[in-house]
Amino acid sequence: MGKAKLEKAIQDKARVNEKLFVPYMMAGDGGLDRLEETIYFLQNCGAAAIEVGIPFSDPVADGPIIQEAGIRALKHGTTLATVIDKLATFKDRRSIPIVIMTYLNPILAYGIDRFTKDCLQAGVDGVIIPDIPMEEEGIIASSLQEQNIAFIRLAAMTSSEERLIELAKRSEGFLYAVAVKGTTGERETHDTKVHDYLKLLKKNSSIPVLAGFGVSNAEQAQQLSKACDGVIVGSKIVQLLHEGKLKDIQQLINGSIQSNVQKVR
């Protein structure tokens, strides 16, 4: 369970030369009763893991699409506690690893030790906290470690090479490589230096490196995956879920994974 389950699931896919696809969804967008159904759908599409976002009033890392989804979820009364409670109700019926993405304030309000213990009981395998810097992560890292929950770090293109190497060494589960300079959201293109940045992380990481932010189609996923192990897609998935375009999601995931598998055969 926990970190071991996440790392095994990701590494098993990597061993068969399959590029990894981790979709992000906003918990509570459309109502929390849709969470279980959506997770099963994404699981069946071939996702390596699922990043479950917690709505927050001041999401500094999120672009407009995810911000709007968060507002819709908050209007449904979604909180960190209600999401964890909901995940616990079907933890034994899902096989895919679950990663929670939340900001630090909701965790502090929840209580750090209570949060990590409840995550374990709910079958949460990893946690992403985008607004906690490496220098301050000690306030929660040990508690996550005690519960065997992966602490997934984010790396930024604007960081020094020394800092990126340190983040690569510290991260668990997978390393989240932010592939743009800015917030989440669709981009027409990525910085020309992004491949060098991803290759640096890949060289110094003992776990898979996934590129996120600004990935909105299979072609972008394929290009980024040439320098790392796969991608995380948020805004596009959130938009398509909101619009009910499930077939488009399936095509996006299949196109990102299968095209890469074919290239390495």
Tell me the catalytic residues.
Answer: 51, 62
**69 within 8 A of 29, measured Cβ to Cβ:** yes
**DSSP track, 139-151:** HHHHHHHHTT-EE
CA distance 126 to 9: 12
Residue 182 is given by DSSP the state S
Task: Tell me how crowded residue 165 is: count the other CB atoms within 10 A of its CB.
Answer: 17
**80 within 8 A of 107, measured Cβ to Cβ:** yes
**98 within 8 A of 50, measured Cβ to Cβ:** yes
Helix %, strand %, coil % of the chain (to 5): 50, 15, 35
Stretch (H or E) spanning 137: none
| Tally of residues, the chain | 265
